[in-house]
Chains A and B, each alone.
Chain A
Amino acid sequence: MQKKRVFPLGQGVLYLLPSLLLFGMFVFYPLLDSVKLSLSYVDLMGEAAGYAGWQYYREMLSSAQFWHSLGATLLFAVYTVFPGMFLSLVLACLANWKLRGIGIFRTLFAFPLSIAVAGASMIFMMLFNPSTGVLDYFLQLFPLPAVFWLSDPNWALFSIAIIAIWRSLGFNTIVLLSGLQSIPEPLYESAHVDGASPWRIFKDITLPMLSPTLFFVFIVSVINALQTFGEINILTQGGPVDATNVMVYAIYRDAFFNQNYSYASAESIVLFLLILGLTTLEFWAMERKVFYR
């Protein structure tokens, strides 16, 4: 007995070793190195050269640019997470109907999942084009004024959010659909027998039973929203007038174009803490409301 108790630990570590190694190499080491860089001066090649203390953190916290980026990031999360979850819930419910040929629709709904961010951005770049874009053409049919989707600072973040929502639809729908399908049929049957209205069934059976899945989708969506990069890099480069300069893009810009590696590292540490904090908060606030069977 005594022996057996020690053995599982060793075995467990052994099993974990490959992923620990990978995590160590690609996550923990870069993370520690970023902490180091954020506290150092750097040379022209971006190598640490001397201790700088908290200078870059102070510089960052007193920079209007940083607070603007933080605001844009949170706003972007609000723009994408809730509409994205709502739309995918609607789609998942539709796809859950047992109809002939529903498989085709399920595939269609999951379709955006298979398109890489670069491809999606190129598609929307054409749709958004100020002179030949289709979206403006439809608007003018109505007749609504044409929108400069990506070059109007009031619209740009919203336009990027549309792409992000569309891109996340596939994944969210699949996950929610699998959640819907794992709800035991007898629950619905007895509700029908009791004569419950569809809305009542949705509110009192579907939603509570789906809450763990919704919670998962919520957490993943928030994290994804805070880390959006591809669409912005391809379509707006943070512009116009910094409207889409979210944190991840600002970090990229500061590190690889402005050669301000220390400052960018400090920003990335703050983003890391922000995501960590938000996720913890979400767990704390919502986990007890989630209904696990």
Chain B
Amino acid sequence: MKKLWYRWTAVLLLGCLLAASVGCGGQKEAAGGDGKPVKIVFWYAVGGKVGDATKELVDEFNAQHPDIQVEAVFQGDYDTAVNKLKQAIPSKSTPNVMQVYDIGTRFMIDSKAVVPVQKWIDAEKFDVSKYEKNILAYYTVDDKLYSMPFNTSTPILYYNKTMFKEAGLDPENPPKTFDEVAADADKLTQRDASGKVTRPGMALAIYGWFFEQFLAEQNSFYADNGNGRDGMAQKAAFVSPQGERILDWWADMVKKGSTANMGRKTADTQKAFVAGQTAMTIDSTGVLGDVMDGVNGKFAVGTAYLPHPADAKDGGVIIGGASLWMLAGHSDAEEKASWEFIKFMTAAKQQAKWHIRTGYFPVTQEAYDDPSLKEYEAKYPQFKLAIEQLHNTPVNHSTQGALLGVFTQARQEIEGAIEQVLNGQADTHDALQKAADKIDSAIERYNQSVKK
């Protein structure tokens, strides 16, 4: 036993030495001016085929810009990347450009470690009029565009047209309101002789993002102070008739058996939909490509607007996804290079390619003029609807989305509340109130730590 122990220590020591020497090798060289290309570091947080598409765009940029060298580093998922940034800020080793998810916006601003892209838009009089206004609105805080939108998606209703026909429903007339969804889900549900559900009409993942979207559909706030857009949010605002209505509707369908509760993972509901085990689901536009590939012609896939209560007015969807942030504390040459890189990544040609490869929206309308995108739209007409939904959404504080420093936790608390209600462990009001209390104290702590 003892000998083994020494050997392990030796191995460990060796490992540490190795790690240390590798660490030295990766040191940054001083930025150019003497003919050498300016080196900038880009952190991104998307994997799989989206990550591949990102890398490809970076390679394209490097090939077209001999004077700039972008080093793209994958940092794990969005949460992990932000956690790494938290370590990097005090040790002054931040990247030049970083992809941060939508709900990290408040934290990024409060970190005081960023340069708003507005600075460069103003300096270059860069024209952003062709960028989607709904998307820009999300990342605009105090009239400044803080970060450049990059990958953007919204939720839509996916439905199985073939099953609609079988159930005697009009496949070209998908449900629009909460009541219509509930009624159609009922008709689409199949039961065996004993009344046990063999195929639920809908499968809906317990995902906090959906709750936020359903609130915005009703033009209702998630947090106070105008959804945190008029000033730092102090309290959660979703304990409202609008908030409760969402959970009541959801829980009622689950209780009846017409909607399946498959847990928190949208991947599971997506799988059920693709496998023909349910007729409807709600998911991000970002997975449309995967759904179409998975279904592969076995049935006709329909897409529809995100449902809303019948009397909801002036609402719409909030964009989700991520944007590109510029970090402060780097030389002017590097900042300029970062801006060039950001412009490139969000320009029409790249966004058209990005849209086709990943399913995220193009952030600029100019991308729709691209011939390859026109071809893609003809192949997947389902997508048009998602873009229409975005364009039909009025820009106001509720559809801009809430700004909250503790959004990750808030989402988790909401998901816990939904679970409790769906499992019949709490009534709607109590569950939401409990989540709100927790979020309130988290906000209070966050706001205090920002002051420190």
**Could you tell me the dominant secondary structure of chain A's interface residues?**
loop
B409 CB contacts on chain A under 8 angstroms: 257-259
Query: Interface readout for B430-452 with A: 1 if CB under 8 Å, 0 if not?
Result: 00000000000010011011101
Considering the chains assembled together, what is the distance between the CA atoms of A98 and B129 in angstroms? Answer: 80
- The reply to whether A150 and B263 contact each other, CB–CB distance below 8 Å, is yes
Interface size on B, residues (CB 8 A): 42
A148 CB contacts on chain B under 8 angstroms: 261-263
Report which of A42, A241, A257 forms a contact with B79, defined as CB distance below 8 A: A257
- The reply to whether A239 and B419 contact each other, CB–CB distance below 8 Å, is yes
**Do A22 and B111 form a contact, CB below 8 Å, given A132-B271, A240-B264, A257-B408?**
no
Considering the chains assembled together, what is the distance between the CA atoms of A87 and B412 in angstroms? Answer: 37
Enumerate B147-191 residues with CB–CB distance to A below 8 Å: none
Residue A151 at the chain B interface, CB threshold 8 Å: yes
Residue B63 at the chain A interface, CB threshold 8 Å: no
User: Known pairs A42-B449, A239-B206, A239-B415. 7 more at Cβ < 8 A?
Assistant: A22-B12, A43-B452, A45-B111, A50-B452, A148-B262, A239-B419, A258-B406
Which of B83-91, B229-237, B345-353 interfaces with chain A? B83-91
Report which of B86, B277, B415, B423 forms a contact with A131, defined as CB distance below 8 A: B277
**Do A259 and B446 form a contact, CB below 8 Å, given A41-B452, A44-B110, A49-B452?**
yes
Task: Determine how close the nearest CB of chain A comes to the CB of B2; give it in whole angstroms.
Answer: 11
Considering the chains assembled together, what is the distance between the CA atoms of A153 and B420 in angstroms? Answer: 10
Task: Determine how close the nearest CB of chain B comes to the CB of A32; give it in whole angstroms.
Answer: 19
- The reply to whether A240 and B268 contact each other, CB–CB distance below 8 Å, is no
Residue B300 at the chain A interface, CB threshold 8 Å: no
Can you offer 24 A-B residue contacts whose CB atoms are under 8 A? A41-B449, A41-B452, A43-B449, A44-B446, A44-B450, A45-B86, A45-B89, A45-B111, A50-B452, A129-B268, A130-B260, A130-B268, A131-B272, A132-B271, A148-B261, A151-B262, A151-B264, A153-B423, A237-B412, A239-B206, A239-B415, A241-B416, A241-B425, A242-B416
- The reply to whether B406 and A241 contact each other, CB–CB distance below 8 Å, is no
Considering the chains assembled together, what is the distance between the CA atoms of A132 and B270 in angstroms? Answer: 12
Q: Which 4 residue pairs are nearest across A and B when measured between Cβ atoms?
A: A151-B263, A131-B272, A258-B409, A43-B452
Task: Determine how close the nearest CB of chain B comes to the CB of A112; give it in whole angstroms.
Answer: 21
Task: Determine how close the nearest CB of chain A comes to the CB of B389; give it in whole angstroms.
Answer: 27
Residue A18 at the chain B interface, CB threshold 8 Å: yes
Residue B16 at the chain A interface, CB threshold 8 Å: yes
**Do A132 and B110 form a contact, CB below 8 Å, given A18-B9, A151-B263, A259-B449?**
no
Residue B385 at the chain A interface, CB threshold 8 Å: no
Residue A197 at the chain B interface, CB threshold 8 Å: no
- The reply to whether A132 and B275 contact each other, CB–CB distance below 8 Å, is yes
- The reply to whether B263 and A130 contact each other, CB–CB distance below 8 Å, is yes
Enumerate A1-43 residues with CB–CB distance to B below 8 Å: 18-19, 22, 41-43
Residue A260 at the chain B interface, CB threshold 8 Å: yes
B275 CB contacts on chain A under 8 angstroms: 131-132
Task: Determine how close the nearest CB of chain A comes to the CB of B421; give it in whole angstroms.
Answer: 10
A54 CB contacts on chain B under 8 angstroms: none
Question: Taking CB as reference atom, which chain B residue is nearest A243?
Answer: B419
Considering the chains assembled together, what is the distance between the CA atoms of A227 and B361 in angstroms? Answer: 42
Question: Taking CB as reference atom, which chain A residue is nearest B410?
Answer: A258
Question: Taking CB as reference atom, which chain A residue is nearest B107?
Answer: A44
Residue A47 at the chain B interface, CB threshold 8 Å: yes
Enumerate B1-43 residues with CB–CB distance to A below 8 Å: 5, 9-10, 12-13, 16
A49 CB contacts on chain B under 8 angstroms: 449, 452
Question: Taking CB as reference atom, which chain A residue is nearest B8?
Answer: A19
Report which of A50, A241, A259 forms a contact with B423, defined as CB distance below 8 A: A241
Enumerate A42-62 residues with CB–CB distance to B below 8 Å: 42-47, 49-50
Question: Could you tell me which A residues sit within 8 Å of B by CB distance?
Answer: 18-19, 22, 41-47, 49-50, 129-132, 148, 150-151, 153, 236-237, 239-242, 253, 256-260
B450 CB contacts on chain A under 8 angstroms: 44
Query: Interface readout for B58-81 with A: 1 if CB under 8 Å, 0 if not?
Result: 000000000000000000000100
Question: Taking CB as reference atom, which chain B residue is nearest A65?
Answer: B438
**Do A131 and B262 form a contact, CB below 8 Å, given A240-B419, A241-B416, A241-B425?**
yes
Enumerate B259-287 residues with CB–CB distance to A below 8 Å: 260-264, 268, 271-272, 275, 277
Task: Determine how close the nearest CB of chain B comes to the CB of A147; give it in whole angstroms.
Answer: 12
**Do A130 and B16 form a contact, CB below 8 Å, given A257-B412, A259-B406?**
no
Enumerate B382-409 residues with CB–CB distance to A below 8 Å: 406, 408-409
- The reply to whether A44 and B268 contact each other, CB–CB distance below 8 Å, is no
Task: Determine how close the nearest CB of chain B comes to the CB of A73; give it in whole angstroms.
Answer: 18
Report which of A44, A153, A240, A258 forms a contact with B111, defined as CB distance below 8 A: A44
Question: Taking CB as reference atom, which chain B residue is nearest A19?
Answer: B9
- The reply to whether B90 and A45 contact each other, CB–CB distance below 8 Å, is yes
Considering the chains assembled together, what is the distance between the CA atoms of A131 and B111 in angstroms? Answer: 43
A43 CB contacts on chain B under 8 angstroms: 449, 452
B261 CB contacts on chain A under 8 angstroms: 148, 151
A130 CB contacts on chain B under 8 angstroms: 260, 262-263, 268, 272
Considering the chains assembled together, what is the distance between the CA atoms of A242 and B420 in angstroms? Answer: 10
- The reply to whether B445 and A253 contact each other, CB–CB distance below 8 Å, is no
A44 CB contacts on chain B under 8 angstroms: 107, 110-111, 446, 449-450, 452
Considering the chains assembled together, what is the distance between the CA atoms of A18 and B9 in angstroms? Answer: 7
Report which of A42, A50, A131 forms a contact with B271, defined as CB distance below 8 A: A131
- The reply to whether A22 and B9 contact each other, CB–CB distance below 8 Å, is yes
Considering the chains assembled together, what is the distance between the CA atoms of A153 and B418 in angstroms? Answer: 13
Task: Determine how close the nearest CB of chain B comes to the CB of A36; give it in whole angstroms.
Answer: 16
Considering the chains assembled together, what is the distance between the CA atoms of A129 and B275 in angstroms? Answer: 12
Task: Determine how close the nearest CB of chain B comes to the CB of A124; give it in whole angstroms.
Answer: 14
Considering the chains assembled together, what is the distance between the CA atoms of A30 and B107 in angstroms? Answer: 26
- The reply to whether A240 and B263 contact each other, CB–CB distance below 8 Å, is yes
B415 CB contacts on chain A under 8 angstroms: 239
- The reply to whether A256 and B83 contact each other, CB–CB distance below 8 Å, is yes
A236 CB contacts on chain B under 8 angstroms: 263
B264 CB contacts on chain A under 8 angstroms: 151, 237, 239-240
Question: Taking CB as reference atom, which chain B residue is nearest A21?
Answer: B13
- The reply to whether B262 and A47 contact each other, CB–CB distance below 8 Å, is no
Considering the chains assembled together, what is the distance between the CA atoms of A132 and B86 in angstroms? Answer: 39
Task: Determine how close the nearest CB of chain A comes to the CB of B354; give it in whole angstroms.
Answer: 28
